[in-house]
Amino acid sequence: MRFLITGTAGFIGFHLARRLLDDGHFVVGFDGMTPYYDVRLKEARHALLERSNGFRAVIGQLEDAATLRQAADLAEPEVIVHLAAQAGVRYSLENPRAYVDANLVGSWNVLELAKACEVRHLMLASTSSVYGANDKVPFAESDKTDEPLTLYAASKKAMEAMGHAYAHLWKIPTTAFRFFTVYGPWGRPDMALFKFVEAIETGAPIDVYGEGNMQRDFTYVGDLVEAIVRLVPVAPNEGNRVTADGVTDTLSKQGPFRIVNIGGGQPVGLLDFITAIETALGKPAVRNLLPMQKGDVPRTYAAPDLLRELTGYVPDTSVPTGVRNFVEWYRTKRG
């Protein structure tokens, strides 16, 4: 199949593109190489993808509709996977403008593109952050998400809403994923795992927010990619409405639009996550216990039932295994 993926120099886009290329698909990767974190890591990811004959890179900003259009002309995509975004919860307090530009204007440009290309399936990356401080667990896709705590969450919720409107108006089959804390090799330097490993390796203290009492439903990147790949052929339509007992399908009555959590439903305490890192590194961490930060949520916990019904699959790599894989990459292959 022919794919246009935005964000292929990013953590998740890189892994998804690599998997699709291995499976023999044609992939055009669009990325702006933004300096939010070390651009050399993004370039190294793209360099690996460029070894494959089936890959073409287009460098450009989501806000630049003309360059995005060039990527689509090259791709002639059957499927668009929109992963490029200004990510990060905490950075949205420092630089809100980046979220408006990339996640609102940029995502709208992608919607326009999907409309023009008449794609078979548009897939949008949203986040568990849209659940805010939801205290009903696990988080089901049908839960209320009207109280975002950060502009990051608000911008992703807005993207979901814009996606729904376009699915309704232009009949674009659209799936919005809600990812839950994704980690693994080639991961993001702004996220806890990378930061903790970097600090522990050098004997520096690690900042542990919420005094370690937070929980996250960590999702191993290989599992996340498996879930996305399985969802590609499941473009939302009445024919695949889920009717299983106890599962609320989010398939809209107003258009071919569905929201799906991608998480394993196995939340892990931050302190247990740190223990897994210490074990993988064979070194103890020096913990600097700090209060919760503005915009942080105490817990994320995915209800994976809809994903299971749609794909027969639920992420299941354990944190110790996933962390070990990250440490191996960090120590030997990071270059």
Separation in Å, CA 25 to CA 1, 79, 174, 334: 5, 11, 20, 26
Least CB distance to ligand NAD at residue 102 (A)? 4
Catalytic-role residue among 91, 99, 131, 152: 152
Q: Please name which of 314, 168, 309 lies closest in space to residue 242, comparing C-alpha atoms.
A: 309
Please say which residue, 65 or 289, places its beta carbon nearer to ligand NAD: 65
Residue nearest to ligand NAD (CB): 10
Annotated active-site residue 152? The verdict is yes
Q: How far is the CB of 35 from ligand NAD (least distance, A)?
A: 8
Calculate Rg over the CA atoms of the chain: 19
Task: Select 21 or 102, whichever has its Cβ closest to ligand NAD.
Answer: 102
The smaller minimum CB distance to ligand NAD, of residues 158 and 182, is found at 182
Are the C-beta atoms of 168 and 252 separated by less than 8 Å?
yes
CB of 244 vs ligand NAD, minimal distance in Å: 26
Torsion of CA 306, 183, 81, 146, to 10 degrees: 60
Q: Are strands 2-6 and 79-82 parallel, antiparallel or unpaired?
A: parallel
Q: Report the interface residues with ligand NAD, using CB under 6 A.
A: 7, 9-13, 31-34, 42, 61-63, 83-87, 101-102, 106, 125, 127, 179, 181-182, 188
Which residue number, 98 or 310, has a Cβ lying nearer to ligand NAD? 98
Strand-pairing partners, residue 259, are: 176
Check: CB of residue 166 under 8 Å from CB of residue 116.
no
- Nearer residue to ligand NAD within complex by CB, 162 or 289: 162
Identity of residue 73: D
Minimum CB separation from ligand NAD for residue 79, in Å?
16
Of the candidates 280, 283, 291, the residue with the CA atom closest to the CA atom of residue 204: 283
Q: Rounded to an integer, what distance in angstroms lies between the CA atom of residue 178 and that of residue 90?
A: 18
Q: How far is the CB of 243 from ligand NAD (least distance, A)?
A: 28
CB of 39 or CB of 286, closer to ligand NAD = 39
Q: Which is nearer to ligand NAD, 166 or 180 (CB)?
A: 180
Q: How far is the CB of 275 from ligand NAD (least distance, A)?
A: 20
Question: How many Cβ atoms are within 10 Å of 229's Cβ, its own excluded?
Answer: 16
185 with 326: CB under 8 angstroms?
Answer: yes
CA distance 147 to 161: 14
The CA-based angle 31-32-34, given to 5 degrees, is 125
Closest contact distance (angstroms) between CB of 252 and ligand NAD is 21
Cβ atoms of residues 16 and 81 within 8 Å: yes
To which H or E segment does residue 124 belong? Answer: strand 121-127
Contact 307, 313 (CB under 8 A): yes
* Catalytic residue list: 152
